[in-house]
Amino acid sequence: MTAKTERIFRDAFAKAGIEVNGNRTWDIQVHDARFYDRVLASGTLGFGESYMDGWWDAERVDELIAKILSGNLEQKVGINPAVIWHYLRARIINLQKRHAFEVGERHYDIGNDLYAAMLGERLVYSCGYWNNATTLDEAQEAKLDLVCRKIGLEKGQHILDIGSGWGSFLRFAAERYDASGTGLTVSRAQKAYADEHRRGLPIETLLQDYHEHEGAYDHVISIGMFEHVGYKNYRSYMEKVHALLKRDGYFLLHTIGGNKSTYGTDPWIEKYIFPNGLVPSIEQIGRAAGDLFSMEDWHNFGPDYDTTLMAWFSNFDTNWDSVKSSYDDRFYRMWKYYLLSSAASFRVRNLQLWQIVFTKVGARERYTAVR
């Protein structure tokens, strides 16, 4: 059985330009022959888990996975590393939740250390903008500034940030544009961090679900949060944003996107992913925004997420020694796989990164997009 399975995999890999135990950077090194049966039995999940267990490796995991994705090995041997994004992201988010709600000081501190080591100065956990940037910190500042410029942010305006993370955007907007802001997060750890680093700026962070929030804002922005809304809630999300936005305000949505609509019906997504966690499509966003908003500008800089993720991995790898006492080798491999497989998905354009500017229908006369 194993020999036959191995032949199937070797053939499929060969068609995608990958040699088992070959000597190129993207060739897969199979260290444990049980690999083949495991992947055959449990597909993508088995592929990722067997990497975490050290059953296979590659000098350039990202390049290997890019070749797997380009070669459509999903159809041939059931491997679709793009889905790993959901799986690992969900595990990471669950870890964050544990940090937050068990108030485990040790985990909490370690978590922030890990993120600080990986994400750079401003602790921004979303795609940077590499148009003119040469470093991760520059790319993240450029992204934050891009959002401010796209909404035409003016002094004194009040912004709502749905999914405000560690508060990076609102601090930037208050520092650079003299704006004020309210951030919403469901993470106690993120709120605590944002409160501690408020620096006297006119910003507040609320531990609150966006559906429960009330108010009227000059602009609403949401960076890297829509991926967790779920397709069943897209319409009510848009309705809520519409209700929270003043008539002439801008709504900027920054989200990962997929080329096709998916609905999370895959059984292992049901098992491992928190409900409704999903990468949206153009179709789904278009339907949800419908008659509420005029879509003024839809900017795709997906390839910049490849660059961002590779920079995160480089930081993580470089700083591993300083945080590894709190983790095990399997965690290192999980995290590496998460970052590099995600980078590959953006590289082959299976995933996109969108910034969309919306106005209320009838509200504005002419929008001039910036880049």
Residues 314-353 as x/- pattern, contact with a second copy by CB under 8 A: ----------------------------------xxx-x-
Task: Specify the residue, 30 or 344, whose C-beta has the smaller distance to a second copy.
Answer: 344
What is residue 281's DSSP assignment?
Answer: B
Return the amino acid letter for 183.
Answer: G
Least separation in angstroms between residue 365's CB and a second copy is 5
Task: Specify the residue, 207 or 369, whose C-beta has the smaller distance to a second copy.
Answer: 369
The helix (run of H) or strand (run of E) holding residue 256 is strand 245-258
Give the count of residues interacting with a second copy (CB under 8 A).
Answer: 43
Task: Specify the residue, 233 or 294, whose C-beta has the smaller distance to a second copy.
Answer: 294
Selected range binding a second copy among 16-24, 50-58, 146-154, 276-284, rule: CB under 8 A: 276-284
Query: Is residue 256 involved in binding a second copy (CB under 8 A)?
Result: no
Task: Specify the residue, 69 or 194, whose C-beta has the smaller distance to a second copy.
Answer: 69
Task: Identify which of 53, 44, 45 has the alpha carbon closest to the alpha carbon of residue 30.
Answer: 53
Task: Specify the residue, 71 or 277, whose C-beta has the smaller distance to a second copy.
Answer: 71
Query: Is residue 365 involved in binding a second copy (CB under 8 A)?
Result: yes
Selected range binding a second copy among 41-49, 184-192, 207-215, 256-264, rule: CB under 8 A: 256-264
Burial class (CB in 10 A: 0-12, 13-18, 19+), 274: middle
Rounded CA-CA distance 188/265 in Å is 30
At residue 358, the 3 state secondary structure works out as strand
Q: How far is CA 45 from the centre of its chain?
A: 19
Least separation in angstroms between residue 344's CB and a second copy is 12
Least separation in angstroms between residue 288's CB and a second copy is 9
Question: What residues between 277 and 316 interact with a second copy by CB under 8 A?
Answer: 281-287, 289-291, 293-304
Q: Which two tokens stand for residue 188?
A: 């106690």
Rounded CA-CA distance 93/316 in Å is 17
Do the Cβ atoms of 21 and 29 come closer than 8 Å? yes
Count of positions (residues) in the chain = 371
Least separation in angstroms between residue 224's CB and a second copy is 19
Residues 125-154 as x/- pattern, contact with a second copy by CB under 8 A: ------x-----------------------
Return the amino acid letter for 356.
Answer: I
Give every CB contact of residue 197 below 8 A, 6+ residues apart in sequence: 166, 167, 171
What is residue 335's DSSP assignment?
Answer: H
Task: Specify the residue, 59 or 283, whose C-beta has the smaller distance to a second copy.
Answer: 283
**Positions of E strands within 186-226:** 203-207, 217-223
Give every CB contact of residue 304 below 8 A, 6+ residues apart in sequence: 127, 128, 129, 130, 131, 139, 353
Task: Specify the residue, 321 or 365, whose C-beta has the smaller distance to a second copy.
Answer: 365
Least separation in angstroms between residue 49's CB and a second copy is 27
Interface ranges with a second copy (CB under 8 A): 70, 131, 259-261, 281-287, 289-291, 293-304, 348-350, 352, 359, 361-371
